[in-house]
Structure 1
Amino acid sequence: MRDFLPADKARRERVLAVIRERYRAHGFDEIETPVMEEYARLHSGIGGDNEKLAYNVLKRGLDGAAITAAADSPADLTDLGLRYDLTVPLARFYASHRGELPSVFRSVQIAPVWRAERPQKGRYRQFMQCDIDIMGDASSRAEAELIVASLDTLDALGLEGASVRINDRRVLDWMLGHFGFSEAERPGVLITIDKLDKIRAEGVVAELRERGASEAAVDAFESFMRRPVTLEYSPFGERQVRKLLPDAVPDEIVAHLVGIGAAVSAARTTSTIVPGDIPLVFDPFLVRGMGYYTGTIFELAHPSVDYSLGGGGRYDGMIGRFLGGDVPAVGFSIGFERIVDLVKDAEDEASRSIVLVHDRDVAVAELLAIKASLVAEGLRVRLEVRTKNLKALLERASADGYSSFAIVSAGATSASLEIKPLT
């Protein structure tokens, strides 16, 4: 968990403002949910491994004897917990307010979440998530809307050239069945296949054999991975999808993926984007770890980094746990903590800021009158008492994002100030 100095906080807020504005432009409405949820909901099995990282809140009023008696049962000790993502709270929110929401609801959630991670670079125990979700739409339009809005947001942040790796959990399940893996061993097989980018096909095959996976199925998987594949360019579409899958893949799954590509391509045809360019890459072995995904899954990639900047997928079964009937739902989360480090500072922000360094004998009324005048002109203004070490004062102001300064003496006005650059 981190503190943020003023310059860092201002930078984060500028990025968040762009994200909020772009999501709103695409028709998403922002909601807010409590930082805590019921323990039973957070540990219902829909959060995957994140449930193990949840911060739980001790029940109020327990005495020493009660704590000792329930020491081996966390559910008896706690009744609430800090949210570890925004999807579980959203499912509860939708189930609670469905009657007050439109039949197809497009939500934005931008808020901190908490996980008991081991402290290490890039892993935080408190971090910001930026989620957009669509509930009530089972068609490929929902995925396309999420992808277009997310890519547009990155463009607005100056991170053009992003693409989305896309797959479908139904494709993965069908392929594993096609190779011959039993349903019981498929979760473990997926854990190994998820390492494909790191250990390559040879490493995956070796690990599957070490795990004791069905020998014939591993042989079939290995044979498929070694098949000859031509390197011709093929844009995202039916040909690309079928080319990367075994024969006889279900037509409805292919049609769903192709429909997403066609919609994204149409939406991305603007004056600044090459007509017909589809920023989608089909990856039949993209897994994503969350077990609640039921269909399309995707990850956001950018050529400037070798890690994903976000992702999401369809989770049609989650809300049904609260309502008793399935509701189609799909979401996309931008990795804010990763993106904020890539965004360049806006120069115009600093150009409209000034530090007024005043002598101690300047009347407060004069200072505030000058400040009010500059603020009315649209400037960001800070008052600082002049010190012996003026250089250190100005260096700090520059580090905080200010671009200019002026010395204020008794009797000065905003019109008489001599404004100088800080750098």
Structure 2
Amino acid sequence: MASVTPPRGMRDFLPADKARRERVLAVIRERYRAHGFDEIETPVMEEFSRLHAGIGGDNEKLAFAVLKRGMDADAIRAAADEPAALSDLGLRYDLTVPLARFYASHRAELPTVFRSIQIAPVWRAERPQKGRYRQFVQCDIDIIGDPSARAEAELVVASLDTLDALGLAGGAIRINDRRLLDWMLGAFGFAADERPGVLITIDKLDKIGPAGVADELRTRGATASAVDAFEAFLLRPQTLEYTPFGERQIRKALPEGAPDDVVAALAGIGGAVAAARPVRPDDIGGVPLVFDPFLVRGMGYYTGTIFELAHPSVDYSLGGGGRYDGMIGRFLGQDVPAVGFSIGFERIVDLVAQTEDAGDAAVVLVHDADVPVAELVALKAALVAEGARVRLERRPKNIKGLLERATADGYASFATVRAGATRDELELRPLDR
């Protein structure tokens, strides 16, 4: 028998799961809008050449291509070794490339500083495994047209506020700047052409530790003196000191001589976030920002600030983003500053607690077989007019299973309906939840 399961890496969602996802999305949308962002929508497909323009990093290798229309078997075989000849379109692998194209298309119709929301599915040809899917939802906010640190501060505050609204207070954002990373690698002695590969190894620091990073860099053939200098820096004695997030904390984590303008910009973000958010007693350093000089983030289009969202309940990132000032210029012909932050919806939705009142106004009407359809529809309409969500169910021999299913679907109460019953005669009884 043919398989009836979804394609690998893609999922069906039962009604209760779908309702839960929509409730979480509603909170995210409401918080983003409260911070002045406006939602847009872009097509699920973009031109193949745009998705493979060298700005999507490794994600370009995971893009699903769409076969050109009208190609017969001979034409497909003839173009088998030329992907661009086979496909003119592809499914989007993120929401940033479509946003850059959107802005280039509609710049004249948008404000000088444009704050966008995009919440939509994306597709990547991943190897399916726990927590990694081929179709998943991204929740992005971006600010286009503002080159100042104000944009980063707005994104950080909006993202932390959204996490709080979802009941996940206590989150923190790790922050760095790609310009600092490049300067630091240069200070250690790594040549410019070897730095991209060095960053790939540094990105594993949390997993393999300083010795593992140094060993891998030597195996890769990186400049020996630079590896020695970097390893010595990683293993230097450090004094544990909790200072407010600012210039002193940043400089203490870097080699001597870090660029003043970049350090000042990062410190400015910390000051703005501290001003916007009340300090909690357990906030180390007084603000939920942590400078991480070895935060890399793999997307090649980042040009400045980068950040990742962390929460003490899990050991993996819940989101991230960064500044990508060079991307829109690839489509528009002139550079436009841009920075974005993406919440990892598929990871966050599993952490959000089920709200107790989610189905308080949801009612199941269990009716006898002889109740006229007109009476049932009238009773349902009356409850709907009162603001309830109503499901009609014919009484089965065993009502227990029906009520258990209704409870699982988020319904809070039920009533039995007999012929001739009026709205006032309905007795709503709570379901066991």
Normalising by structure 2, report the TM-score: 0.96
Aligned residues: 423
Instruction: Say if 1:256 and 1:290 are closer, same or farther in 2 by CA, change over 3 A.
Output: same
Which one of the candidate residues 408, 411, 421 is aligned to 1:412?
Answer: 421
State how 1:215-226 maps to structure 2 within 5 Å: 215-226=224-235
Aligned-pair CA distance for 1:276 = 8.3
2:280 touches 2:286 (CA, 8 Å); kept in 1? no
Aligned-pair CA distance for 1:269 = 2.4
Instruction: Say if 1:89 and 1:194 are closer, same or farther in 2 by CA, change over 3 A.
Output: same
Aligned partners of 1:244, 1:352: CA distance in 2, in Å?
A: 53
Which one of the candidate residues 304, 309, 312 is aligned to 2:318?
Answer: 309
* 1:321 counterpart residue number: 330
* 1:44 counterpart residue number: 53
2:242 touches 2:285 (CA, 8 Å); kept in 1? no
Structure 1: stretches of 5+ with no match in the other structure: none
Listed one character per residue, the Cα deviations across residues 319-375 of structure 1 (whole Å, up to 9, x for unaligned) are 010111111000000000011111112211222211110001111121122212222
* 2:4 counterpart residue number: none
2:279 touches 2:286 (CA, 8 Å); kept in 1? no
State whether structure 2 residue 64 is matched by structure 1 residue 64: no
2:245 touches 2:285 (CA, 8 Å); kept in 1? no
How much is the aligned-residue C-alpha RMSD, in angstroms?
Answer: 1.4
Which one of the candidate residues 332, 339, 345 is aligned to 1:330?
Answer: 339
* 2:384 counterpart residue number: 375
Which one of the candidate residues 281, 288, 306 is aligned to 1:279?
Answer: 288
Aligned-pair CA distance for 1:64 = 2.3
* 1:206 counterpart residue number: 215
- Partner amino acid for 1:173? D
Instruction: Say if 1:4 and 1:241 are closer, same or farther in 2 by CA, change over 3 A.
Output: same
1:319 touches 1:327 (CA, 8 Å); kept in 2? yes
1:268 touches 1:277 (CA, 8 Å); kept in 2? no
2:243 touches 2:285 (CA, 8 Å); kept in 1? no
Dislocated runs of 4+, deviation >3 Å: 270-276
Listed one character per residue, the Cα deviations across residues 97-140 of structure 1 (whole Å, up to 9, x for unaligned) are 11111110000000000011111111111000000000000000
Which one of the candidate residues 184, 197, 211 is aligned to 1:188?
Answer: 197
1:265 touches 1:276 (CA, 8 Å); kept in 2? no
Aligned-pair CA distance for 1:275 = 12
* 1:139 counterpart residue number: 148
Decide which moves more: 408-417 or 240-249.
408-417
Aligned partners of 1:256, 1:159: CA distance in 2, in Å?
A: 28
Aligned partners of 2:277, 2:419: CA distance in 1, in Å?
A: 58
* 1:151 counterpart residue number: 160
Normalising by structure 1, report the TM-score: 0.98
State whether structure 2 residue 354 is matched by structure 1 residue 348: no
2:245 touches 2:286 (CA, 8 Å); kept in 1? no
- Partner amino acid for 2:269? I
Listed one character per residue, the Cα deviations across residues 288-313 of structure 1 (whole Å, up to 9, x for unaligned) are 00000000000000111110100000
Which one of the candidate residues 40, 64, 68 is aligned to 1:31?
Answer: 40
Aligned partners of 2:289, 2:307: CA distance in 1, in Å?
A: 9
- Partner amino acid for 1:133? D
* 2:408 counterpart residue number: 399
2:170 touches 2:311 (CA, 8 Å); kept in 1? yes
SS at match of 2:46: strand
Aligned partners of 2:364, 2:279: CA distance in 1, in Å?
A: 42
Instruction: Say if 1:355 and 1:272 are closer, same or farther in 2 by CA, change over 3 A.
Output: farther
1:293 touches 1:313 (CA, 8 Å); kept in 2? yes
- Identity in percent: 78
Aligned-pair CA distance for 1:168 = 0.2
SS at match of 1:384: strand
1:268 touches 1:275 (CA, 8 Å); kept in 2? no
2:24 touches 2:349 (CA, 8 Å); kept in 1? yes
* 1:113 counterpart residue number: 122
* 1:231 counterpart residue number: 240
Aligned partners of 2:103, 2:35: CA distance in 1, in Å?
A: 20
Aligned-pair CA distance for 1:272 = 10
